[in-house]
Amino acid sequence: MPSPRRNAEVRALGALGVSASSSSSPSSPAHGGGGGGRFEFQSLLSSRAPGGEPPAGARLRVSDSPVHRRGSFPLAGAAPAQAPPPPLPEEGRLDLNPSFLAIALRSLLAIDLWLSKKLGVCAGESSSWGSVRPLMKLLEISGHGIPWLLGTLYCLSRSDSWAGREVLMNLLFALLLDLLLVSLLKGLVRRRRPAHNQMDMFVTLSVDKYSFPSGHATRAALVSRFILNHLVLAIPLRVLVVLWAFILGLSRVMLGRHNVTDVACGFFLGYLQYSVVDYCWLSPHNAPVLFVLWSQQ
C-alpha cells in the first residue's frame, strides 16, 4: 500500500507532465540510472557556441579514434598511396631461362668472332703474316665487282657471235644481280666489319662499311659456277677456278675484312644466285629486244 509520501510525489510529477511509470523506471534520474545521459547530451547541445561548433571538451580527436588507429577507412586528408615502381626495361631484365636457340646463336657468334680474329693474320703490316698482305690485296682486286663489270662489257662489245653475246649478256645480268642483292642485304643487316680491319679497300661504296655478307665471296661462287657450266675448260683450269674462289674467300678473313660467317654465307648466296640466273636465262628467244638493241650498237 503506497505511503502518503509516495502519493505526494506522484501528484507532484503529474503536475509537471511526467508519468508515474517513467519516474519509477530504473533509468529515471530519481533512481540514478542511465537516463541521466539524455540530460547530459541536451546540456551539450544547449552549450554549443554561436557558430555551431561544439565545445572543445566535447570534440573527439580523429587521431584518438579507435577506428582510425585500426586503419579501417582512409581519411580525406590523408596522403595518397605510393604508386608501384615502374617495371624494368627489357634490356635491364635478367633472362633466367633462355631458349636453346638463343644459346646456340650466342655460342656461334662467339666462336665466329674468336676464329675470325685468329685467322686475321694479314690485317696489318705488323701482323704475323703482314708480309703477305700485298699479295692478298692483289687477290682482293681480282674479285672486285668493278673489274668484272668493265671486263664483261668490253668482251661483250668485242664479241661477234650470237652464242658469245648470249653468255656474256647473262654474265652481265648475274653481276648486276649480285651487286644489287649484296647491297640490299648489307643495308638491312648492318653488321660492322671486324675491329681489326683497316679501311684501305679498293674502290668502296656506301654500303661497304658493313660486313654481312661478303660481296667478294658471293661473286667468287657465282662467277666460278658460271664459268664451270658455260665454258669448256681443261681439268687443271677448272681446278684453278675452284681454288681461286676458295682462296679469295679465305683472304677476306685473313685481311680482316670479314668474319668467317660472312664468307660462308656469301658462298651460299652466290651459289643460289647462279640458280636464279640459270632459271631466268636470257636468250634471243625470250629477250629478243636486248640482243637486237645490242647488235645495233
Handedness of CA 233, 237, 238, 242 (dihedral sign): negative
Distances from the Cα of 140 to the Cα of 91, 177, 203, 210, angstroms: 40, 20, 11, 17
Are the CB atoms for 263 and 217 separated by under 8 Å?
A: yes
Burial 221-235 (b: 16+ CB within 10 A, else e): bbbbbbbeeeeeeee
Closest C-alpha among 260, 282, 155 to residue 214: 260
Residue 293 CB partners (closer than 8 Å, separation 6+): none
pLDDT at residue 158, rounded to an integer: 87
User: Residue 136 in contact with residue 255, Cβ under 8 Å?
Assistant: yes
Catalytic residue list contains 68: no
Are the C-beta atoms of 146 and 175 separated by less than 8 Å? no
Catalytic position from the list 31, 196, 258, 285: 258
Q: Is 287 exposed, middle or buried (0-12, 13-18, 19+ CB in 10 A)?
A: middle
- pTM score: 0.64
Active-site choice (144, 196, 216, 230) = 216
User: Do residues 267 and 218 make contact, with C-beta atoms less than 8 angstroms apart?
Assistant: yes
Residue 196 annotated in active site? no
DSSP string, the chain: ---HHHHHHHHHHHHHT--HHHHHSTTSGGGT-TTHHHHHHHHHHHT--TTSPPPGGG---GGG-HHHHHT-S--TTSPPPPPPPPPPPGGGS--SS--HHHHHHHHHHHHHHHHHHHH-TTSSTTSTTGGGHHHHHHHHHHT-HHHHHHHHHHHHHH--SHHHHHHHHHHHHHHHHHHHHHHHHHHHH-PBPPTT-----SS--GGGGB-SS-HHHHHHHHHHHHHHHHS---HHHHHHHHHHHHHHHHHHHHTTSS-HHHHHHHHHHHHHHHHHHHHT---TTT-HHHHHHHHH-
Residue with cell 653468255: 167
pLDDT digits (tens, 9 = 90+) for 270-286: 999 999 999 999 888 88
CA dist., res. 83 & res. 188, Å (int): 42
pLDDT tens track, the chain, 297 positions: 555 555 555 555 454 444 444 444 444 444 444 444 444 545 544 555 455 555 544 444 544 545 444 444 454 455 556 666 666 554 445 455 568 888 888 899 999 999 999 998 888 888 888 888 989 999 999 999 999 999 999 998 888 888 888 899 999 999 999 999 999 999 999 999 998 888 888 777 778 889 999 999 999 999 999 999 998 889 999 999 999 999 999 999 999 999 999 999 999 999 999 999 999 998 888 877 777 776 665
Angle subtended at Cα 25 by Cα 23 and Cα 27, rounded to the nearest 5 degrees: 100
Q: What is the pLDDT of residue 29?
A: 42
Q: What are phi and psi of 51, to 5 degrees?
A: -80, 0
